[in-house]
A = this chain, B = another copy of it.
């Protein structure tokens, strides 16, 4: 249903597209649509919950002596397997989101949810609260900036490599 919805958003604009149109293109009823998605915006974020679960699962299986920032970066890299094959879709989707403030807000809320889940998972591992929050926020920044790199025109590195690149930039930032 997501690819059909994205096509409609690109063809006629997000605001102009109705849930009924998306349902019809997917060959389901509007009622089925709203059983799956709480609102029209959610169609573009169907993978977000699974991404979050994969990141948390990866954190839980990381050896316990790793530094928090490495735990988070590694978990982000592991979870990218979900997206790696979908660069063209991700690129088009990002264009639709960038053109609509309410979609940007929804995306930021999803990333915030991931940040909170990551902080929870780190606290579970015994990372002190404030460090857990800061590592989670940093991890989401690596992911978001890495994702922007990954969908840029002509980029050929994997999403995991782009996330690593963003993480490595952080080390340069404390140098004058």
Q: A142-168: contact bitstring with B at CB < 8 Å (1 yes, 0 no)?
A: 001100110000000000000001100
Q: Which residues of chain B are near A69, meaning CB under 8 Å? A: 173-174
Contact residues on A (Cβ < 8 Å of other chain), bracket: 20 to 34
A78 at the interface (CB under 8 A from B): no
A148 to B148 Cα, complex, angstroms: 28
Binding site for B on A (CB under 8 A): 65-70, 101, 104-106, 108-109, 112, 130-131, 133-135, 137-138, 141, 144-145, 148-149, 165-166, 169-170, 172-176
Instruction: Look across to chain B and name the residue whose beta carbon is closest to the beta carbon of A115.
Output: B141
How many copies of this chain does one complex carry?
2
* Given A104-B109, A133-B148, A134-B173, 8 new contacts (CB under 8 A): A67-B174, A68-B173, A104-B112, A130-B165, A131-B169, A133-B145, A134-B166, A138-B170
User: Which B residues are CB-close (under 8 A) to A138?
Assistant: 138, 141, 170, 173
> Which residues in B have their C-beta under 8 angstroms from that of A174?
67, 69-70
Residues of B within 8 A of A173 (CB): 67-69, 131, 134-135, 138
A65 nearest CB neighbor, chain B only: B176
Please, how many angstroms separate the alpha-carbon atoms of A153 and B113 in the complex? 23
7 nearest A-B residue pairs (beta carbon): A105-B105, A137-B141, A108-B108, A69-B173, A134-B169, A67-B176, A68-B173
